[in-house]
Structure 1
Amino acid sequence: MKLKLIARLCILVACVMLITPILSPTVYGQAQATPENFPLFGGDDRVIRGENARDESYFEIGKGRAAAVGSYLDLYYGHSPTLLPKNSTLTLLVNDLPIGSVALDDSNKEQALWRVDLSKLGLKSGFHKLSLQTHMEIASDVCVDPQNTANWMVIHKNSRINLNLVPSYDKADLTTYPSPFFEKGSTNPFQSIIAVPDNIDQNEFSSVAQLAQYFSTQASDKRIKFPVYAESELTDIILRDNRVIWFGRTDRWKERGQAAIEALRKLTGAPANQWQSFIGVAPSPWNPANAQLIVAGNEAELSSAATILTDEALFSQLQGNISIVPANLKKKEAPAELKIGSPYTVTLEKMGYNNLTVEGVEQGSVRINYPIPGNWDFDNGAGLKLLFKHSKSINLKQSVASVKLNGVPVESVRLTETTADAGILELVLDPSVIGSRRTLEFEVAFQFINANSNNKDTQNQNLKDYCSNPSYLGNWAVIDKASTLTYIPAQRQTQRLESLPYPFVVNGHWNQTALLLPDQIGTNELSMALTLAGIIGRNSQDNTELLLFKTSNPGLKELLKDLNIIYLGTSKSLPDFMNGFSGSQVQFKDDQILSLASDVQLLSELQNNSAVIQITHSPLNPTKSLLLMSASSAEHEASITNALTSPDESNKITGKFVIVDNQNHVHQFPVKEDPVAPKPQKPNAGIFFNNSDSSINPYVFPVTFLLIVVLTITILWLARKRR
C-alpha cells in the first residue's frame, strides 16, 4: 500500500511539474490578450426612423493587433410597440457582410440585448464598419404612410463593441513600433510610461514632447495622459508593472537607465560602448513580459530620433531590435505661414474625409465636422462648396438635398439631370448662423423619391409596385472629397481657455512660449507638462520656440518678458509677480485660493485643496499671455492632469479661469468679456467662390461685341468725315 501511495504521489508531482510552465508568468513575446470595448455611437442613444433605414458606426484596430476569440457585440435596443412582427427586422452587417438578423416583435420592444459573436470574422488592423439596417412596418398597407412617426427603434447608449485583442506578431521589435507602446484605435492608446533623466534639460524635453505630440495626433478624438517619471522616482514595482519608454542623453542615465540599456546590449550581443546613439526595443529586465523602448544619444541624435519616431515614412523602415541614429536628418520644410485676412480654403480630404456616400435608403445623411483653429475667428462668415453626383433613376422633380449647420437648416435644392453628373451647391454662411461654437457641424441629407410620373394612373401603378416589392438599389448620392470650405481667418483678440492652443501654438508651431516649472521637477510636473504639450501642441510641427525654464533661473523676469508663459506647479513655487497681479481673477494666500473677481465668491471647499487653471495677459508684457496651472499643494497637482484628460471635465474648461476641486471636478465662473466689434451679417459670396475657371457671365460676350461694333462705326464715321 505504501509503495502504491508513493507511486501515486510521484505521478501527482510529475503532473504538477508538467502543468507549471502553463501557469508560469508570461514571457517576452508571448501573446497577451487585451480586452477593449467601444461605445457604438459615441455613447449616445441613437434613434432610427422610417420604413427602411441604415445607420453606421466605425471602430479601429491598431497596427499589430487582431480580434481573437471572445470578441462580441452587445446591442441593446428597443422599438415601437406598433410594428408588425412578421414584417419588421433588424440586420447587422460588419464591413458590409451580413452577420445576422432579428425580428422586431413583442419580445424585444423594451430594452433587449442581442449579443453577436465577432470572433469568426478575423478582424485585423485598420478601420471596420458596423452597419444596422432596419425594415419597419406598422400596417399591412405600408404605402399609406411609409414615414409614419410610429416607425422607430432605439439603439441604447450602453451598446458596446467588445474586442479581445491579441498581438499579430510573435515578439515586439522596431518593426512593430508604435505597438505595443502605443495602440492606435484603443480606448486607452498610450500603454506605457515615460522615463527621463533627473533634471530634464531643454533638448530632452523638446524631443520627448515631440513624441507626445505625435501620439496625440494619432488619437485626435482623445486627450491622452502621459505618465512621466524622473529616473530617481522609478521603483522596481513601477518598472515591473509597466512598459517603459526610456528617453534621454546616453551620459545622463544612472543605475536603472543603464540596466535598461544593458538588457538591449545582451539581446543584440553587442559589446559595451559599441554604440552611444540608438533606438532599441528589448524585454524589460524587471519583467520579461513587458517590452521597453530605449532612445539614447547626444542632443543632435535625440532630435533625430524624435524625428524618426514621429514620421511613419521613417519609422516604417526600422528593423530588428536596434537602429543606430544618425546625427543629422533632412529637415522637413516648415509649414507655410497662413495669411490673416486672406481667403483660406480646406477640402474635405484635408479634413480627413474620403468621398461620402448615401445609398440604399429613402432618406439618408452624412455629417462633416470641422474644428475652427484655436487662434482664428470668422469675421466674414464662410462659404461651403459641395460637389456631388447622384442616381438618375429617381424622380428628379421631387428628390431633394438639404444642408444643416449646427442643427439649423441653411439650404435645400431639388436634384436635376445636371446635378446627377456634376452637382454644385454653394452656400454662404452668415456669422449669425455660425455663432460662437468652435466646431462647424454640417449635416448633408438626401431624400430620394422613386415615383416616375405625375400622372395619377402611373403613380397608382408605381405605388402598387412599390408596395409589392420595395427596392432602394437605385437610391444613392456621393459627395466628392474635393468639396471645400472657404473662410477669411481673423486673429483672435481675446484669450479664453476654450481657444487653446491659441496663443501658445499658432500656424503649426509653438509661438515664443516659455514652459515655467518649479526648481524641483517631479513626476507630477513632468506628467502635467507632457500631457499639456500633447493636448495643445498636437498640431505643432516645430518645437523650436517651446522653451523650458525653472523658477530659480537668474533674471527670470527679463528672460520671460517677451514670451508667452505657461506655469505648471504649486502655489508655493509660483513667482510673486504671477500671483494676484492686475488682471488676475484669483490669488494664492497661505495655500488658499482667493477670488479677485467682484462677482465670484469662493466657499471654503474650493479655497482649500484645489487647483486653478487661468489664462490672462502676461503681467510682464500686455501683448503676451500667461496660462497658469497651479495647485494649492503638490498632492493636488495631479487633479489638473486628470481634468485636462477627462472627456467630461475637460469640456468645462472654458472662460478666463476654472477651479478643479479635490474630486477632480471642474467649476466654471462667468467673467465679464471685453467689448468686441460686431461682425458683418451679410458676407459677399464673391469672397468665397471664384468661378472664373468654370463659368462666365452670359452678358460678357454680347456686351463686348456691342462695344466693338460701336467703336468700329465711330472710327469709320470719323474717317469719312475727315475726307
Structure 2
Amino acid sequence: MSRFKHLLIAPVALLALASVNAQEADSLPDETAQPVTEEVVRTPTWISNHTFGELGDPKDSLLLGIHNSQQIEFTLRRDRIASDASLMLDYTPSPALLPNLSHLRVYLNDVLMGTVVIDEEQLGTRTRRQVALAPYLLSDFNRVRLEFIGHYTDICEDPGNSALWLNVAHGSQISLREHAVALRNDLAFFPLPFFDSRDHGKTQVHMVFHDQPTLGEQKAAGVLASYFGSLAGWRGTEFPVLFDRLPSTGVNRDQVHSSVVFAANDRRPSFLADLERFPAVEAPVVELIDHPEHSYSKVLVIWGRDEQDLLDGARALALGGNLFRGSRVVVNEVQTLQPRKPYDAPNWTPTDRPVRFAELIDYPTQLHTSGLQPRPITVDINLPPDLFVWRNQGIPLQTKYRYTPPATKDESRLSISLNDQFITGLSLSRGTHNRLERMRLAVTAVETANAQDRLLVPSLKLGARNTLRYDFSFASTYGSAQRDFCQTSLPVDTRALIDEDSSIDLSGYYHYMAMPDLWAFAHSGFPFSRMADLSETLVIVPSAPNAVQLSTLLEILASVGAQTGYPAMAFEISDDWSAARQTNADLLVLGSLAPDLHDRSDLNLVLERSSDWIMHASSPLREKVDRIDHTAFPADSRVDVTARAPIAAIAGMQSPFHNQRSVVAFMANDDADFSLLRETLGDSGKLDAVRGSVAVIRESGVQSQLVGPQYFVGYLPWWLKLWYLLSNHPVWLAVMAVLCMLLAAFLLWQALRWVSERRLHQQD
C-alpha cells in the first residue's frame, strides 16, 4: 500500500505543477498559494547538475570488499520541486572481477533504484552509466547510496582481497529538473526565499534604494547584508545594488530574483510611490510583497519614517526574524539587552573556559563511526587568529571514547592527529589492561570498552581553523581463506565513538598578534571580528558611492559575518575622515585613503587615475623613512608603469590615530577595479592568496607582499613580551642571560657576605 501511494504522488505533483498558474489560490498547497494574475506567468524551470565533488567528495572514492558503500547527500530548496532526477555514474571496476556476478546497487533515500551490472567489457575500463532516480522520493534532504558487490572467484573468497575494488570518480553527478514554487507572502518562512540552507549555491539578494543612499541607509543595508552572510557561511553572497528599479525577470520571465527595498516616507523608489496602496508609515515596518511583474520573485520592503527606522527594521530582521509572521510586521522596539564581549563570535570556539565536544559538532552522529574500516571522526576548532600560544606547555585535551572490543589481543589502536599532523596513538585492547578496566563505564556493560586519556595538544600546530581527527583502526582476521582450507565468517559490527563530554581547554591564553596580516582578515575577518557585532569598527566610504562600490561594501561586511556567524549590528559608518581621528576603532576603508595618509611609510601602493605605482619600496620618501624606521622590510626596486587594465589592492596598516587599531583599505578607482575586489571576495582560491600587508589584484590573480613596519595588537605581560621579542635575537638573549647571571651572582655574594658578617658580629 505504501508503494502504491508513492506511485500516485508523481503524477499528482506534475499535474499541480502544470496548472499552478491557472488554478485559484485555495486549490494549491499552503506554501504555494498565490493570487491569480491576469497574465499567465510561466513556471521557471532549471536543469541543475551537482557533481560528487561539489557535494562533499572532492576526490575519487574507492569501494572495497570490506568497505563497499558510499553515500552522497544533496538537498532541494523548499521553494522548488523536481519532476525528473538521474544519476550519472563515472566508475572504473577492477580488471580481476568476475563479470555479471559483480554489480553496483543504487539507492535513493534507502529505496532501491536499480542495479548496474559489471560486464566483461567494463573490467579495468572507465565507464559511464546513467541511473534514473524516482522524483517522488525527493525531499529537502536526500541520500544516494552506492553498494559494491564484487567477486573475484566463485569459492573461498577473501573479502579483504586487494583485487576487490571499484573506483567512483568525483565527477559523477546528480541531475535534477527543478521547478519554482510560488510561496505565499508570509514572513513566518523568513529567511526564505532570500536564503535557504538547503541551497549549496551562492546567495544573491538585490539591494534597492531610491537613489544615492544616505549613510543611514547604507548602514541598514550593511546590517542586513552581514546577516545574510552569517547565514550563508561558506556558500558566499552577492548583493547587486539598484537605484529606483527592481531587477528584470527576463524576456520570458523565467528568472527568479529576491530583492530588499529600503523605503523611507520621503525617499521611496518610484514603483512604491502610490500612497493609496503604500501609505506612509508611523513606525518601522517590514513587508513581503510580490515582484510587480513576476509572482515567483519576492520583494522585502523595509519601510520607515527616516533612516533610523530603516536601521531598526533591518536590525529587527537580523535579531528577531523568527518572531515574524504574516505579510506585514510592525517593529515596536529593537533593544540590545546585553553587549557583546570580545572573541565571543558564535563560529569561534570559546577561549575562556573548557569546551565540550557537544558544543562543536554540526550534527548528532558526527562523533560516531562503524565498519571494519571506519571513517575518521573529525571535530572542527575555529580560533581567533591572535590567540597567543607561543612556547607553552600544550593545550589540555580530554578524550573519552568507546568502541567494540576486539576478540583477541591485536594491534587495534586509536590515532589522534591535529591538522593532519600525528599527535599520538592509543592501543585498543579487549580490556585486560588495568587502566581500561578502572575507567570502564557501568552503562556500557560488557559490549564496549572505555578509555579516558588526557593529552597535551602541541599548540604550535594550531591555526585559525583546525581539525582534530580520530582514526579507529581495527585489526581483523575476517575471511581467512587458503588453498586447501576454506573458512568463512560473518564480519563483526564494529562501532566506535568519541564521547560528547570530551573537552578541550583553551582558557588562560593571551591575545597578541603581529600586524598587518591580511590573511587574518581574509579567513577570520580580523581585526574587525574581535567584536562579533563590529561594535569597534568604523567604515569609511566615499561621499557619493555608486552601485558597484556599494555592492563591494555589502559583500565585505557579509564576508565578515560569514566568519563570525553573527550580523554586524553595531558598526559605525562615515564619509568624513575626521570621524576616524575622534573614534577609537579599527578602520575599514573603501575606495581611497585620506590625502594626508598617502605619504605614510607603511603605504606601499597608491592607485591614481592615470598611473599605477607598484613599489617594493615603502614610499617615495625612502631616504627619510630609512633614517626613522630601521624595522621596516627593505626594498630593492621601484616600478612605475602606465596601463588601462583593471587593478585593485587590499592594504593593511597601523591606524595613524590609535596604536592598537588597524586599517584595512580596499583601494580601487573605477567599476572594473571594484569588480576585481568583489571577485576576489567570492573566490576561496584567490582569497587564500591574500596575505601580508598588501595584496595587489589583477586579472591574472593575487600577489601579496609584506612590506613596511610591523606592529603588535593585544596584551602580553612585560616579561613574556620581552622574552618573545628577544627570541629572534639570540645574541641579545645571550647577553641578557649573562647579565642576569652576573646580577644573581652579585646578589648572592652580597647575601652571603651579610650572613658572614652577622655571624662574626654575634661571636664577638
Q: TM-score, normalised by structure 1?
A: 0.76
Change (3 A) 1:366 1:103: farther
Are 2:291 and 1:291 equivalent residues in the alignment?
no
Aligned partners of 1:275, 1:233: CA distance in 2, in Å? 24
Instruction: Flag the 1:367–1:554 CA change in 2: closer, same or farther, 3 A.
Output: closer
Counterpart residue number, 1:205:
218
Choose the corresponding residue for 2:132, options 117, 125, 128: 117
Per-residue Cα deviation, 1:521-563 (whole angstroms, up to 9, x for no partner):
111111011100010133264645411111xx37356346x33
The residue that corresponds to 1:471 in the other structure is: 491
Q: Counterparts in 2 of 1:381-400, with a 5 A limit?
A: 381-392=394-405, 395=408, 397-400=410-413
Aligned counterparts of 2:131 and 2:396: Cα–Cα separation in 1: 44
Aligned-pair CA distance for 1:368: 2.9
Which of the numbers 338, 341, 348 marks the counterpart of 2:357? 348
CA gap 1:174/1:378 in 2 versus in 1, 3 angstroms: same
Q: Does 1:331 align with 2:336?
A: yes
Amino acid at match of 1:118: L
Q: CA deviation at 1:232?
A: 4.5
Residue in structure 2 matching 1:370, options 373, 381, 385: 381
Give 3-state SS (helix, strand or coil) of 2:171's partner.
coil
Aligned to 2:734: none
1:300-353 Cα deviation digits (max 9, x unpaired): 543443344234xx4344333222222x14535344545999754333333343
Cα distance, 1:431–1:400 mapped onto 2, change above 3 Å: same
Give a deviation string over 1:276-299, Cα, whole Å, max 9, x none: 532212222244442211111245
Flag the 1:399–1:94 CA change in 2: closer, same or farther, 3 A: farther
**1:568 lines up with 2:568 in the alignment:** no
How many residue pairs get aligned? The number is 632
RMSD of the alignment, in Å?
Answer: 4.1
Residue 440 (1) aligns with residue 466 (2): yes
- The answer on 1:309 being equivalent to 2:324 is no
Relative distance call for 1:180 and 1:675 in structure 2 (3 A) is closer
Give the partner amino acid of 1:365. P
Alignment of 1:218-367 (within 5 A): 218-229=231-242, 231-232=243-244, 243-256=257-270, 258-259=272-273, 266=277, 272-273=279-280, 277-298=284-305, 301-311=309-319, 314-326=320-332, 328-329=333-334, 331-337=336-342, 344-353=353-362, 354-355=364-365, 356-367=367-378
Residue 443 (structure 2) pairs with residue 424 (structure 1): no
CA pair 103-190 structure 1, distance change in 2 beyond 3 A: same
Q: CA deviation at 1:253?
A: 2.6
- SS at 1:212 equivalent: helix
Q: Does 1:81 pair with 2:95?
A: yes
Q: Distance in 1 between matches of 2:238 and 2:667?
A: 18
Q: Distance in 1 between matches of 2:398 and 2:214?
A: 48
Match of 1:65 among 79, 87, 93: 79
Match in the other structure for 1:37: 49
Task: Please tell me the residue identity of whatever aligns with 1:499.
Answer: A
User: Match of 1:411, as an amino acid?
Assistant: T
Contact 1:579-1:588 at 8 Å conserved across structures: no
Query: Secondary structure of 1:220's partner?
Result: helix
What's 2:704 paired with? 668
- Which residue of the partner structure matches residue 524 of structure 1? 548
Letter in 2 for 1:442: L
CA distance in 2, matches of 1:577, 1:450: 72
Question: Where do residues 45-64 of structure 1 align in structure 2 (5 Å cutoff)?
Answer: 45-48=59-62, 50-53=64-67, 54-62=69-77, 64=78
Corresponding position: 1:537 with 2:565: no
Distance 1:528 1:115, change over 3 A: same
Correspondence for 1:700: none
Contact 1:43-1:158 at 8 Å conserved across structures: no
Does residue 1:584 correspond to 2:603, yes or no? Answer: yes
| Distance in 2 between residues matched to 1:274 and 1:674, nearest whole Å | 52
**Aligned partners of 1:194 and 1:244 also within 8 Å:** no
Q: 2:196 aligns with which of 180, 183, 189?
A: 183
Q: Distance in 2 between matches of 1:363 and 1:237?
A: 49
Deviation for aligned residue 1:499: 0.6
Q: Deviations over 1:332-382 (max 9, x none)?
A: 534454599975433333334333221233343233333333443433443
Contact kept? 2:602, 2:707, Cα under 8 Å: no
> Is contact 2:284-2:303 (8 Å) kept?
yes
Give the secondary-structure state (helix, strand or coil) at the position aligned to 1:481: coil
Tell me: CA distance 1:600–1:559, structure 2 relative to 1, closer, same or farther (3 Å): farther
State the Cα deviation string for residues 602-624 of structure 1 (Å, max 9, x = none): 68598853001111112343322
Aligned with 2:504 (options 485, 488, 492): 485
Change (3 A) 1:460 1:92: closer
- Larger deviation, residues 236-245 vs 32-41: 236-245
CA distance in 1, matches of 2:281, 2:641: 60
365-374 or 138-147: bigger deviation:
138-147
Residue 173 and residue 72 in structure 1: after superposition, are their counterparts in 2 closer, same or farther (change >3 A)?
farther
Q: In structure 2, give the amino acid aligned to 1:565.
A: L
C-alpha distance in 2, partners of 1:321/1:39?
38
Determine the C-alpha separation between the residues in 2 that align with 1:59 and 1:291.
25
TM-score by length of 2: 0.72
CA distance in 1, matches of 2:313, 2:405: 55
8 A contact 1:608–1:632 mirrored in 2? no
- Asked whether the 8 Å contact 1:397–1:414 carries over to 2, the reply is no
- Secondary structure of the 1:221 match is helix
Local SS of the residue matching 2:551: helix
Amino acid at match of 1:295: I
- Matched letter for residue 40 of structure 1: F
SS in 1 for 2:228: helix
- Contact 1:402–1:413, Cα closer than 8 Å, also in 2: yes
Are residues 158 and 592 of structure 1, via their aligned partners in 2, closer, same or farther at CA, if it must alter by over 3 Å?
Answer: farther
Q: 1:304 to 1:575 in 2, by over 3 A?
A: closer
In 2, distance between residues paired with 1:322 and 1:341? 38
- Say if 2:480 and 2:488, in contact at 8 Å, map to a contact too: no
Q: Residue 463 of structure 1: CA displacement?
A: 13
Residues 111, 66 of structure 1: CA spacing in aligned structure 2 closer, same or farther, 3 A cutoff?
A: farther
Contact 2:94 2:165 in 1 (8 A): yes
Structure 1: gaps spanning 5 or more residues: 1-18, 453-458, 682-723
> Who is 2:536 aligned against?
512
> Which amino acid counterpart does residue 156 of structure 1 have in structure 2?
A
Contact 1:84 1:137 in 2 (8 A): yes
* Structure-1 residue corresponding to 2:172: 159
- Distance in 2 between the 1:626 and 1:406 partners? 31
Residue 389 of structure 2 aligns to a residue in which SS? strand
CA distance in structure 2 between the aligned counterparts of 1:466 and 1:447, rounded to whole angstroms: 26
2:182–2:295 contact (8 Å) kept in structure 1: no
1:640, CA displacement in angstroms? 0.4
Distance in structure 1 (CA, Å) of the matches to 2:495 and 2:546: 58
Matches of residues 70-149 of structure 1 in structure 2 within 5 Å? 70-85=84-99, 88-104=102-118, 106-107=121-122, 109-125=124-140, 127-136=141-150, 146=160, 148=162
In 2, distance between residues paired with 1:581 and 1:153? 61
Shift of 1:503: 0.8
State the shift of 1:193 in Å. Answer: 0.8
2:467 is paired with a residue whose SS is: strand
CA contact (8 A) 2:61 2:170 kept: no
Same amino acid, percent of matched pairs: 16
Structure 1 letter corresponding to 2:299: Q
Whether the 8 Å CA contact 1:76–1:113 is kept in 2: the answer is yes
Residues 255, 55 of structure 1: alpha-carbon distance in 2 compared, 3 angstrom cutoff: closer
* 1:637 equivalent among 658, 668, 674: 674
Instruction: Rate the CA distance shift 1:647–1:469 in 2: closer, same or farther, 3 A.
Output: same
Separation in structure 2 between the aligned mates of residue 51 and residue 494 of structure 1, nearest angstrom: 53
Name whichever of 238-247 and 481-490 sits farther off: 238-247
> How many Å apart are 1:504 and its aligned residue?
1.3
Tell me, what secondary structure is at the counterpart of 1:648? helix
- What is the distance in 2 between the residues matched to 1:97 and 1:325? 47
